Chain A
Amino acid sequence: MQLRNFRIRDSLALRLIAGAALWSVIALVAGGIILSSIFRHSVETSFDARLEVLLGSLVATTDIDDRKQIVRTRDLNETRFDFAYSGWYWQIAPLAQRLALRSRSLFDQAIDLTGSARAARDVSGASFFDAMGPEDQHLRVVERRLMLPGYDVPVSFAVAADKAEMEGDIQKFNSTVFTAMAGLGLGILVALLIQVRFGLQPLDRVRRALATIRSGRATKLDGKFPAEIEPLAEEINSLLDSNREVLERARTHVGNLAHALKTPLSVLTNEARAHPDAFGDQVTRIAATMREQIDHHLARARVAASANVFGAHTAVGPVLVRLGRALQRIYAERGIEVVAESADGLGFRGEAQDLEEMAGNLLDNACKWAASRVELRAAPLSELRKGRPAFLITVEDDGPGVPEEKRAAVLKRGGRLDETKPGSGLGLSIVTEIAELYGGELRLAASELGGLRAELILPASSE
């Protein structure tokens, strides 16, 4: 993975993970809320039921004595009613009269019954509501109004309890649910990562296979891919094949054309030279023009048939050594020594024919001008070029060299400084053009040997 600031839509894995995570979080939160509210409801119902049971007991243990006073016949079996402000309270009060009786826990306070009027009553006539109690306690209250035998006014019976106890239970439950949901969410996320990674593995294989092709260690996508990716892999393979084929056809075509034109031109040239009259001269001149034109256009066609083919890789050392050997023989008559050295394991990210064309032209040019020695060297560049590894080929000769102000002219198409040496003036401009096709560059400088130093920078294939 490249470390860049990419947005979610830049990565399939992120898309899948983010999408699934969003839905998981929503589902988990909703589930938690529903669970918590169901629990709250059941706790509240059972709390109310307990209060109602206590209220029943309160009513059952209350009576009217002979003096028409409300009295308790027995204590409720609940000690928390005896401690002051314990949170558990009861009170008995005839309607519209002073409070008659209350639990010891209420001490000197009374339960506020104003909420009773608004609260709904169940079938037994009990009403449930919330009220504030002593010491800011939040109370749950159940109240019932009854007519007691021998008493003129209805009597209100109320039992209340601090909701803190219930809330505590709910809180405990909620935190358990939260922990469980968080754990579940984490588990889902891990499963998701594993699934996405596993699911996208074939894509990663495609990426690695493409990198292998780019580095030149393979020529096609190998291996078995899932049904969804298989067509893509096949398309890439056939595209690579057709690329190579088209290029090969173009090259063969250029070669055939060269052969077809140049052989008869040789015949014509020599036939004309055998007749040293006006007609012969004219044919010789025309043949020379044709030769120039053919050289020019074939050179252009050769550049056109060069291409930065995806996945091409060439070992530099052997190519340079073979070229050096060939040039040594071509210039054997002038006794020029050609030294060709290359760093070990150097690779060119491109076609062997294009490397031969560039280095061959540079060497040929150097040999043409050299007095006795030409040195060809190749070494990797330490810094990256356009973000990719590169290497440098230098070709130096001990000839007259080219003055700095004239170097640009030499690199131009058809640029020749000396018309007396053989050559079409295309060599260096072709090198420049092919080099640029590969994102490389040709520079000229002065050599320590005394002549010209050509520096060719080309992309290296990563090992």
Chain B
Amino acid sequence: MRLLVVEDDPDLNRQLVSALTDAGYVVDKANDGEEGHFLGETEPYDAVVLDLGLPGMDGVTVLEKWRRAGRNMPVLILTARDRWSDKVAGFDAGADDYVAKPFFMEEVLARLRALLRRATGHATSELECGPLRVDTRTSRVTVNGTAVKLTSLEYRLLEYLIHHQGRIISRTELVEHLYDQDFDRDSNTIEVFVGRLRRKLGKDMIETVRGLGYRLAAPENAA
């Protein structure tokens, strides 16, 4: 899952990026409204953490521009202004949730997880696909009740696939969502990780659709 953090305070920006990276997300950052707006409009993020009080272009304007341009990724707004009128302005602009400053990082993480899950149409934090279960809160993965140990990159790939289960996902899309913008997009690491996941979860879980990409589906449906 690839996220964008738009926050002008350098310390808070660093903390957010580090906490989100630790939680297994790929994170791009922007320090002002213009840069944030540009990234959000050009890169395919799964979610955005957006501060409302930004220099240059304020957060509400950035969000409105994204939504007008048809960018509908979930957006979590951070605001120090706790008047209801400010919060409502954020939601009117198209925000999906908000966290009021000062906040604990855990709160941001929990709300982001929920947003990502709801954005892909899942009601709980436990995602299922046949014998496979992924708990997005604890990053725990089981197959038929048996725990499976995954590296962080393997987990990221699986999480993205299970959030979008049943849909064919291209290699390019996976690269865009699993790596930050500086990643060399021609490398064959995705194939390597898909191979490793198949070994750990069972080879029927991830189907290769020739020329199009991969699809995660319960084995009986996969055929």
Which residues of chain A are near B100, meaning CB under 8 Å?
Answer: 262
A to B contact number (C-beta, < 8 Å): 91
- Given the known interface contacts A263-B12, A264-B11, A330-B97, the answer about A287 and B102 at a Cβ–Cβ threshold of 8 Å is yes
The segment from A79-87, A239-247, A355-363 that touches chain B is A355-363
A266→B85 contact, CB < 8 A? no
Check: A22 CB closer than 8 A to any chain B CB: no
Which residues of chain A are near B104, meaning CB under 8 Å?
Answer: 269-270, 273
Chain A residue with the shortest CB-CB distance to B123: A335
Check: A326 CB closer than 8 A to any chain B CB: yes
B101→A266 contact, CB < 8 A? yes
Chain B residue with the shortest CB-CB distance to A323: B88
Which residues of chain A are near B98, meaning CB under 8 Å?
Answer: 330
Which residues of chain A are near B96, meaning CB under 8 Å?
Answer: 329
Q: Which residues 325-366 in A have Cβ within 8 Å of B in the complex?
A: 325-326, 329-330, 332-333, 352-353, 356-357, 359-361
Check: A255 CB closer than 8 A to any chain B CB: yes
CA distance A258 to B85 in the complex (A): 14
Chain A residue with the shortest CB-CB distance to B106: A273
CB of B150, distance to nearest CB on chain A (Å) = 25
A263→B19 contact, CB < 8 A? no
Check: B191 CB closer than 8 A to any chain A CB: no
Check: A265 CB closer than 8 A to any chain B CB: yes
Check: A313 CB closer than 8 A to any chain B CB: no
Q: Which residues 301-329 in A have Cβ within 8 Å of B in the complex?
A: 302, 322-323, 325-326, 329
CA distance A295 to B96 in the complex (A): 24
CA distance A349 to B162 in the complex (A): 52
B97→A329 contact, CB < 8 A? yes
Check: B53 CB closer than 8 A to any chain A CB: yes
Q: Which residues 270-304 in A have Cβ within 8 Å of B in the complex?
A: 270-271, 273, 287, 291, 295, 298, 302
Check: B139 CB closer than 8 A to any chain A CB: no
Q: Which of A's residues lie within 8 Å of B, judged by CB?
A: 251, 255, 258-271, 273, 287, 291, 295, 298, 302, 322-323, 325-326, 329-330, 332-333, 352-353, 356-357, 359-361
Q: Which of B's residues lie within 8 Å of A, judged by CB?
A: 9, 11-12, 15, 19, 53, 80-88, 91-92, 95-98, 100-105, 111, 114, 118
25 contacts between A and B (CB under 8 A): A251-B83, A259-B101, A261-B80, A262-B100, A262-B101, A262-B102, A263-B80, A264-B9, A266-B15, A270-B19, A270-B105, A291-B102, A302-B83, A323-B88, A326-B91, A329-B97, A330-B97, A332-B118, A333-B114, A353-B83, A353-B85, A356-B84, A356-B88, A357-B83, A357-B85
